Structure formats: C-alpha cells, structure tokens
C-alpha cells in the first residue's frame, strides 16, 4: 500500500513539472539559436562591440603610423604665386644706368616731337657726328631683351630750327636700324629686334646750330632689367 502511495506522488510531481514547461516554455539549453542572415561579400557587418568591420575579402586601407598626440604632416606645396614665372616686361631705358655715354645725351621727363609729347625721353643737344659721337648712350642688355620701341624726331622746343638729324640704333657698336628727321617731321616709331644683343646703343647726329634731337619714350622688352636702376 505504501508503494502505491509513493508511485502516485511521483506521478503527481511529474505532472506539475510538465505543466510548468508547458506554461513557461522549454529550457534555454533546448532552445535553438536563430540562423544567421546571409551577408554579401565585401560589406560591413556589426561586431559585438557595435563597431563596423570589413569582411575578409576587403582588407582595410593601410594608414601611416602616427605617434600618439601628434598630427600627421601633410605634403608641402609651393604657392601658385611662386610656382609661376613671369614673362618678359617693358622697361623705360631712362630709368637705368648706361655703361657708356657721351656729353650730349640727357634724360628728360618729357619731350615733344611734332605735336606729340612723350614721357621718359632723351634729348640729344651737342654737336655730334660719327667722328665725334657726343650724343650717345649704351646699356648692357646682356642678351635678356628682344625688342626696342622708340619714337624719334626733332625737339619741338628747340631754339634751332634747321638741320636733319640721324638716329642710329646700334648693337655691339654696329647700326641695326636708323631714321632721319627734320623739325617739320612728325614722330617716327622704330620697333627693332634686339634679341641676343649684349650692348645696346642709341646714337644721333646734329650740327651745332641744328634743332635738338629727341628720342621719345625708349623702351625695351626684357626678361631682366637692362642695367642698374638710377
């Protein structure tokens, strides 16, 4: 009789346990983990720490090691303004010292030829000839210039009224361009190729009683100044 009571009690307890499993669900050991969702190769997935990491088939880009507490130095670049080199420029010849000159060549702030006034000019006022070259001046252009631009004629303000002046542009003491002018003539422009010239000379001739000669605004185009500035 005792054995029957014990067997009934065991059956009762098993029924209680079965009822609890039915109400609260199965044990954690029996539960299956959900299947992982597939991930496309090369995409980032969330790690357990919440930080994205690359898949094995897409290694992360290498980075340069930088000491703690310092900033990585960026490559040095040259400013655009320094990288660009300027081209040729025009220079007023009267603003630069001559390496050789005669007695009758003077720089003037302006001079008039015909009815036109020219700034930064030259007046030739001494008696001057090939055998007595007083009205002359030579600049050391040293091959850095390629063009001369100048207007020539007689000085309208001269006391003398006659004569014909000869204007000679010379390279290494040899004439490469020239013109003649009287007081009645309008200004004539000379544009002369002086590429490769080392010594540039402006020379003019006049008799003692002639009107003065005028070189209107002589300029040279160079990659470097034609001498020392005054």
- Per residue in 47-81, pLDDT (tens digit) is 333 333 333 333 333 343 444 443 333 333 333 33
% of the chain at pLDDT higher than 90:
61
Q: How many other CB atoms are found less than 10 A from the CB of residue 159?
A: 8
> Is the pLDDT assigned to residue 141 strictly greater than 90?
yes
Q: Is 15 inside any structural domain?
A: no
> Is the pLDDT assigned to residue 200 strictly greater than 80?
yes
Q: For 208-211, which contacts have Cβ atoms below 8 Å and span 24 or more sequence positions?
A: 208/127, 209/160, 209/162, 209/163, 210/160, 210/162, 210/163, 210/164, 210/165, 211/154, 211/155, 211/158, 211/160, 211/161, 211/162, 211/163, 211/165, 211/182, 211/183
Q: Give me the mean pLDDT over the 92-105 stretch.
A: 96
> Is the pLDDT assigned to residue 208 strictly greater than 70?
yes
CA gap 150, 105 in Å, rounded: 15
% of the chain at pLDDT higher than 70:
63
Q: Is 10 inside any structural domain?
A: no
**Which residues have C-beta within 8 Å of that of residue 78, sequence separation ≥ 6?**
none
Q: Is 230 inside any structural domain?
A: no
Sort 92 into a burial class: Cβ within 10 Å, 0-12 / 13-18 / 19+: middle
Q: Is 72 inside any structural domain?
A: no
Q: Is 27 inside any structural domain?
A: no
Tell me the CATH number at 177. 2.60.120.1060
Count of domains for the chain: 1
Give the domain range for residue 104.
89-222
Q: Is 1 inside any structural domain?
A: no
Q: Is 205 inside any structural domain?
A: yes
Q: Is 131 inside any structural domain?
A: yes
pTM over 0.85: no
């Amino acid at each position: 009789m005792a054995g029957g009571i014990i067997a009934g009690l065991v059956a009762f307890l098993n029924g209680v346990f079965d009822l609890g499993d039915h109400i609260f669900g199965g044990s954690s050991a029996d539960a299956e983990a959900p299947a992982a969702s597939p991930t496309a190769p090369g995409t980032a997935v969330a790690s357990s720490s919440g930080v994205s990491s690359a898949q094995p088939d897409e290694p992360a880009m290498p980075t340069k090691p930088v000491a703690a507490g310092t900033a990585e130095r960026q490559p040095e670049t040259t400013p655009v303004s320094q990288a660009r080199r300027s081209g040729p420029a025009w220079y007023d010849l009267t603003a630069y010292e001559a390496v050789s000159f005669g007695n009758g060549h003077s720089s003037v702030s302006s001079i008039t030829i015909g009815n036109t006034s020219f700034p930064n000019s030259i007046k030739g006022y001494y008696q001057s000839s090939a055998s007595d070259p007083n009205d002359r001046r030579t600049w050391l252009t040293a091959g850095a210039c390629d063009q001369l631009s100048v207007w020539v004629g007689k000085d309208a303000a001269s006391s003398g009224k006659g004569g014909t002046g000869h204007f000679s542009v010379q390279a290494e003491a040899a004439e490469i361009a020239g013109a003649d002018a009287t007081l009645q003539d309008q200004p004539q422009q000379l544009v002369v190729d002086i590429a490769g010239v080392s010594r540039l000379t402006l020379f003019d001739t006049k008799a003692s009683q002639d009107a003065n000669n005028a070189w209107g605004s002589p300029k040279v185009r160079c990659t470097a100044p034609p001498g020392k500035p005054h």
